[in-house]
């Protein structure tokens, strides 16, 4: 089943986000290689594709996991969460309607 991992950044997290980005992307690349990643990306803190110093307000990942418990376990091990980039992470089941 698909799960949405919705993360909210902690205030002032941009330096930590930059530091932890390679490890964060490595985990996403592994999901992609397994064919389980549907989409992933950050939410810019301002209405711009390059928010620069404004940074990001969070991230969204939609991926396939065997269960909600497995999705939560995967999300809990994210380098961004461990380093304090994310202040809060919500994991929810997700039903993809479009695109088909």
Could you read off the pLDDT of 29-83 as tens digits, one per residue?
Answer: 999 999 999 999 999 999 999 999 999 999 999 999 999 999 999 999 999 999 9
What CATH number does residue 81 fall under? 3.30.70.1060
Residue 42 has a pLDDT of: 98
Q: How many domains does the structure of the chain reveal? A: 1
Asked if residue 99 is part of any domain, the answer here is no
**Residue 100 forms part of a structural domain:** no
Domain that holds residue 57: 2-94
Q: 64-95 burial, b if ≥16 CB within 10 A, otherwise e? A: bbeeeeebbebbeebbbbebebbeebebeebe
* Per-residue pLDDT band at 25 (split at 50, 70, 90): very high
Please indicate, yes or no, if residue 6 is contained in any of the structural domains. Answer: yes
Entry pTM = 0.95
């Amino acid at each position: 089943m698909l799960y949405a991992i919705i993360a909210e950044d902690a205030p002032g997290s941009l330096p930590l986000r930059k530091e932890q980005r390679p490890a964060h992307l490595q985990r996403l690349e592994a999901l992609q290689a397994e064919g389980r990643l549907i989409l992933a990306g950050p939410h810019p803190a301002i209405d711009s594709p390059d928010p620069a110093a404004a940074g990001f307000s969070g991230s969204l990942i939609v991926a396939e996991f065997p269960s909600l418990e497995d999705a939560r376990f995967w999300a809990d091990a994210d380098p961004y969460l461990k380093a304090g980039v994310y202040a809060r992470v919500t994991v929810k089941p997700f039903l993809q309607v479009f695109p088909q």
